[in-house]
Amino acid sequence: MSTNQNRLTLTIDVFEKAKQKALALPSLTPPELVEAILGEFARDLEYMSESADDYQLVRAADSAPLQDELALGAQQVRDGESLALVERGGLQPPGTSVPSRSRHIYLRDTAGGKLYKLPWLPAIIGRPDDKKTQNLLLAVDLSVYATGLRVSRRHAQIVEEGGQYVVESLARNNPTIVLRDGQGPVTLDGQRYQLRHGDTIRLQHSELSFKFIIREGR
C-alpha cells in the first residue's frame, strides 16, 4: 500500500513560493508542519527566520488560522486543501505605524544570520533604556551581543517617509555607516539616509552589521 494514502495532500503558499505541494501526516500539528516548511525554505528566502513561533498556517480561502494544538487530521484540514504560511502579528506600540503598501521590512545580522522583523515604524535599533517608556519603540535589541555595550541605547531608528525608508543616526559620536553595492560607505553621525533593499547598516564601534530587507506582499 502506498504511504501517500496515509498522508494529506496539501498546497501551501510559502510567501513568494506559491502553491508548494506537500504530503503531511494527519498526526502533525500546524507548528510541526511549520518547522518542516522552515527546514526546506528558510535558506532560500532571506526574510525568513528559523523560529516556527514567528509563523502560523492559515486557510488560503479565508485566512482563518489553524489551531496550533490540534492535529491537522483532527477535522482541521481536508485532503487537497490550500494553506498559506503567514507571519504572526504582534502588539503595535502607541504612536507608531506599520509599513505601507503591505510591505514587510527586516534586518538580518550579516555575521550570525539572526533575523529581526521591524513590525512598526519608527523602529529603534539599540539597547533597553532605564526609562521603560523609551523601550516601547525598541525593535532591534542588541544587548545580547558580545559587543552590545558599545551600541548606544537609542543608536539609530528607521522611519518611513513618502513610501521610502530612512535610517537616522541618533547617537552622537557613535556613527552608523550605510554600505551600498557600487558606492563608498556613508557615515552618519546624527544624520539621515534613504535606504534601499540590500543596503547594509553597520554600527561602527560594535562592529555589528545588518542587511536591510524589504518583502512585498502578504
- What is the pLDDT, as a whole number, of residue 130? 80
Q: Are 9 and 80 in contact (CB under 8 A)?
A: yes
Chain-wide mean pLDDT for the chain?
A: 93
Q: Are 149 and 203 in contact (CB under 8 A)?
A: no
- Provide, rounded to the nearest whole percent, the portion of the chain with pLDDT above 90: 87
Residues of the chain with pLDDT under 70: 1-5, 218
- What is the pLDDT, as a whole number, of residue 154? 94
Query: What structural domains does the chain harbor?
Result: 3-87 (3.10.20.90), 104-215 (2.60.200.20)
**pLDDT per residue over 163-212, tens digit each?**
999 999 999 889 999 999 999 999 998 889 999 999 999 999 999 999 99
- What is the pLDDT, as a whole number, of residue 5? 55
pTM: 0.91
- What is the pLDDT, as a whole number, of residue 218? 67
